[in-house]
Structure 1
Amino acid sequence: MKICVTINGQKYERDVEPRTLLSDFLRHELELTGTHVGCEHGVCGACTILLNGEAIRSCIIFAVQVDGQELTTVEGLGEIDNLHPIQEAFREKHALQCGFCTPGFLMTLVPFLKENTQPSEQEIREAISGNLCRCTGYQNIVEAVKLAAKK
């Protein structure tokens, strides 16, 4: 099937198999490898991207389902010299270790902070509860979200 999708402001038209997962389409067809695949069941959050501004799990949706839609991946957040505030906060607060889960956290937190500009620690913890990290213990991630909210 032919799909047309806008990703990080760039329009893409591709033929895809109807069974191709969106995460596989992004990583293998478009080489947008910032979207990570962990569990392949939508549980870990590593594959989180934005679909029309809403955080979704790209490993449990087919590429054909996003035809005509607008996506944002972690590659669309900021640039090396101009990081998104949540990226800056993660760097400043050392909110990552191995980095595998980080893109999913970032993409989860962008719409969260848009809706909740002064979140409590409990609200932050609830917002990130669907993203798994095996390295950090989450405290620095919480601190990074607090800092990003101030920015």
Structure 2
Amino acid sequence: MNPLIVNIAIVAAAFVGMECVAWLAHKYLMHGFLWFLHHDHHQRDDGDFFEKNDYFFVIFAIPGIACLLLGLYGGFNPLFWVGLGITIYGFAYFIVHDIFIHQRFKILRNTNFVYLKAIRRAHKMHHKHLGKHQGECFGMLWVPLKYFREAKNAAAK
């Protein structure tokens, strides 16, 4: 098989896998024993630009960087492509979560794209719960179909 196709498949699989990892980490770690780092993301008190929750950016970057380095050391072995998929997911997370949803930078504000409206609505439903329990919608890119229906119905009005 063509090595380029294999490498692209590894990057895509790592990217998709990271959505699963992010969902699990968000539900069971961030809303679990690491709540002390995540709680300020749900209950902003200060108005500072940075949150304790931002430490997760560093925590989740470590596996991607490690895979990239180990993959380079081995001459672009599969670990490099896994690390690239993880890194691309991290970049997508930053764009979607921090810029589009939470507007940490005032760009990408308005959209009529149903998928983006569904993501924003699902995340809003996640944040309606201020505590670590009774949460919903822990993913970023994969959200329940009901939010797509809501976004589509709102666009039709």
Q: Same fold (TM over 0.5)?
A: no
Considering fraction of residues, name the structure with more strand.
Answer: 1
Considering fraction of residues, name the structure with more helix.
Answer: 2
Q: Which has the larger radius of gyration?
A: 2
